Amino acid sequence: MKDELSREEVLHVAELARISLTEEEIKKYQVELKKLLNEVEKINDVEGYDDEILIANWDSNAELRKDIAGDMLNPKEVLENAPRHAGNYIEVPVVISDGEGA
Amino acid sequence: MSNYIPTIGVEVHVELKTKTKIFSNSTNGYGQMANSLTNVIDLGYPGTLPTLNEEVINLGIKAATILNCKIRKVMHFDRKNYFYPDNPKNYQITQARTPIGYDGYVEINVNGESKKIYIEEMHIEEDTCKSAHRGTKTLLDFNRAGVPLIEIVTKPCISSGEEVKLYLEKLRELLSYGEISDCKIEEGSMRADVNVSIRKNETDPFGTKAEIKNIGSISNAKLGVEKEIERQTKLYDNGETFKPQTRRFDDKIGDTVLMRIKETGNDYRYFPEPDIPFVVLTDEMINNVVETLPMLPDERRKKYQELGISELNANKLVANRPLSDYMNTLLTEKTNHKIASNLLLGDISAYLNRTEKDIKETTLTKERFLELISLLEKETLTSKNLKDILDTVMESDTSIKDIIKEKGIENITDDTEIRNVIKEIISNNPDSVNDYHNGHDRAIKYLMGQVMKETKGKANPKLAMDILTEELN
């Protein structure tokens, strides 16, 4: 098994995280990320491992919240925590592509 | 242009009609001041935990039932990871692996023939915040962040823009009737994305796909699909190819424009949401919800037509929910349902439109309505006279009999009374009687006119004609 990721794999992960890396960092992460993956892969050695029970004990059904409205934040408080705002809107640098997300 | 076979799939997002958001208890509302309907959960503050809204699950069960889907009894949520300012958590909570509903269908009517549009799956997820792009800035409003959504995904089984339109109309009707969503496209509570590809033959692999987003109305969905088929046809006809892409419908030019080329598939790195335990549905939970569903549009149409109501009127009633609900209270009554539908869609609708009232706000109880129908059927009341008393019928508690009496418009339906009048008229008009026996049709009309004149228009016309004919012979 190769003990490092390819340069492309590291750059792909960096792009998903929206970060830029120096040449030095790329080389460093090729090794470090591979080490992390190796650790995670150990889970495959667990006897009787089942993907379906990976997350939570599903005997304990989620307690559902009643549909009753509660307190909300004052818009002023919301805007105070944003670096910039325009009127009541939070302002961020323009995002080119549209309609991502949901 | 050559003929190609279009393959179309539709993804619809609808916002659910809950009081609060899916994972927080802040208000689910529209048209409020920006960033006034939020709390720390909607804003993705560190250390906050989501709690699942019970009503979202209930509405999910309802939607799945209405769309003939199978319901998944054990489900969980997943994180869809991406960096974008519309979601500061950097992931959207959705159901990628265990959608609440799957393998369903919706029936549409294409040129008189029924066609099933198959639903691949429908899942619950949270809406993102609303972003507006202004020059070098993007403005964010988190009122929409965390509003519950259901995404409904069809199989690629749709073959024209017209079918897309019919499907969206049907979906809107069903989800509105189920009180699952407002389905207001213009307010964004129903949003459709359409995938379109074309190919030469059924046996060919699917063609390159273009996704159309930002469709502002059902008619634009139809137009967008038709324009896209046209665009792809021209390209293939010229021997050109194109890359998978996302296009948006531009209202102003009435056509689709390129948004972005999809170079690679999205890498959302889904993984199960650890902050929300599994949701396990029991048959009892499902049945309790399904029981609350109202009668659905197709069943209403069928019932109305079985009761003698025309197809046109059945459709008109279904299109007007309050009137249709009112009609449904009469389904098991022994009455003339045809007259009932004519009245509801005619004079009563006109009254309700004129006074801007809901039928429930009037004094037209079921009992009063049944009495009205019976009087019209027996012709004690003519439809012309009905117009004179309708306002009083809708606005006062006075009995209908008394209203008619007060207005002095009661039809004479007493045989003897009419017969006496007719006998007198016959003896006073020997010339007309002779004309009648000599085959002059106009004579009987003249004599009827005399009857109506003598009774001041109150004689039941049908009864009077019967007696007159009898007496003349």
Same domain, B280 and B314: no
Question: B228 falls in which pLDDT band (50, 70, 90)?
Answer: very high
Residue B394 lies in a domain: yes
Same domain, B171 and B274: yes
The total number of structural domains in chain B stands at 3
Residue A95 lies in a domain: no
pTM of the full structure: 0.83
Give the residue on B whose Cα is nearest the Cα of A74.
Answer: B36
User: What mean pLDDT is reported for chain B?
Assistant: 91
In chain B, % of residues over pLDDT 70: 97
* Among the ranges given (A79-93, B283-297, B343-357, B446-460), the one the predictor scored with the smallest mean pLDDT: B446-460
Same domain, B239 and B327: no
What is the nearest CA distance from A78 to chain B, expressed in angstroms?
Answer: 7
Residue A87 lies in a domain: no
pLDDT computed for residue B394 by the predictor: 93
* Among the ranges given (B172-181, B295-304, B457-466), the one the predictor scored with the smallest mean pLDDT: B457-466
Q: Which residue has the higher pLDDT, B302 or B424?
A: B302
Range of the domain at A28: 7-45
Same domain, B57 and B158: yes
Question: B436 falls in which pLDDT band (50, 70, 90)?
Answer: confident
Q: By three-state DSSP, how is residue B119 classified? A: strand
The amino acid present at B8, given as its one-letter code, is I
The closest alpha carbon to A29, from A48, A4, A63, A47, belongs to A4
What is the ipTM for the molecules in this complex?
A: 0.83
Same domain, B371 and B262: no
pLDDT digits (tens, 9 = 90+) for B254-275: 889 998 776 555 688 898 898 8
**A15: pLDDT strictly greater than 90:** no
- What average pLDDT does this structure show over B360-365? 93
Where residue B464 sits, what CATH number does that domain have?
1.10.10.410
Residue A19 lies in a domain: yes
> Which of A94, A97, A101 shows the shortest C-beta gap to B260?
A97
Residue B290 lies in a domain: no
pLDDT computed for residue A101 by the predictor: 41
Q: Which residues of A touch B142 (CB under 8 A)?
A: 78, 90
Question: B388 falls in which pLDDT band (50, 70, 90)?
Answer: confident
Range of the domain at B322: 295-407
Question: B169 falls in which pLDDT band (50, 70, 90)?
Answer: very high
Among B284, B315, B342, identify where a domain stops: B284
Residue A25 lies in a domain: yes
> Which of A56, A72, A95 shows the shortest C-beta gap to B138?
A95
Neighbouring-strand partners of residue B248: B213, B257
In chain A, % of residues over pLDDT 70: 77
CA A99 to chain centre: 19
The closest alpha carbon to B470, from B447, B449, B454, belongs to B447
Among B242, B262, B284, identify where a domain stops: B284
Distance CA B396, CA B405 (A): 15
**B463: pLDDT strictly greater than 90:** no
Same domain, B207 and B306: no
Same domain, B338 and B270: no
- CB pair distance less than 8 Å for A73 and B140: no
Question: From the CB of residue B234, how many other CB atoms can be counted at a distance below 10 Å?
Answer: 12
pLDDT computed for residue B429 by the predictor: 87
- CB pair distance less than 8 Å for A100 and B82: yes
Where residue A37 sits, what CATH number does that domain have?
1.10.20
Placement of tokens 């749709």 in the chain: B158
**A98: pLDDT strictly greater than 50:** no
- CB pair distance less than 8 Å for A89 and B74: no
pLDDT computed for residue A58 by the predictor: 57
Q: What is the CA radius of gyration of chain A?
A: 22
Q: Which residues of A touch B39 (CB under 8 A)?
A: 70-73
The closest alpha carbon to B100, from B128, B145, B66, B144, belongs to B66
Distances (CA, A) of A55 to B268, B272, B436: 18, 6, 94
Same domain, B275 and B309: no
pLDDT computed for residue B223 by the predictor: 95
Give the residue on B whose Cα is nearest the Cα of A85.
Answer: B139
- What average pLDDT does this structure show over B425-445? 86
pLDDT digits (tens, 9 = 90+) for A20-64: 999 999 999 999 999 999 998 888 888 777 666 655 555 566 689
Most A-contacting residue of B61, B97, B139 (CB-CB within 10 A), to test interface? B139
C-beta of residue B247 within 8 angstroms of C-beta of residue B230: no
User: What mean pLDDT is reported for chain A?
Assistant: 84
Question: B73 falls in which pLDDT band (50, 70, 90)?
Answer: very high
Residue B209 lies in a domain: yes
Give the residue on A whose Cα is nearest the Cα of B125.
Answer: A102
Residue A70 lies in a domain: no
Residue B289 lies in a domain: no
pLDDT digits (tens, 9 = 90+) for B16-27: 999 999 999 999
> Which of B26, B54, B140 shows the shortest C-beta gap to A66?
B54
Paired sense of beta strands B279-280 and B74-75, if any = antiparallel
- CB pair distance less than 8 Å for B52 and A56: no
Residue A17 lies in a domain: yes
pLDDT computed for residue B410 by the predictor: 67
Same domain, B386 and B436: no
Residue B146 lies in a domain: yes
- What average pLDDT does this structure show over B64-73? 97
**B306: pLDDT strictly greater than 70:** yes
Residue A99 lies in a domain: no
Same domain, B69 and B136: yes
Same domain, B259 and B399: no
pLDDT computed for residue A100 by the predictor: 44
Distance CA B149, CA B188 (A): 11
- CB pair distance less than 8 Å for A67 and B26: no
The total number of structural domains in chain A stands at 1
What is the nearest CA distance from B224 to chain A, expressed in angstroms?
Answer: 17
**B414: pLDDT strictly greater than 70:** no
Distance CA B130, CA A90 (A): 11
- CB pair distance less than 8 Å for A101 and B132: no
Same domain, B377 and B347: yes
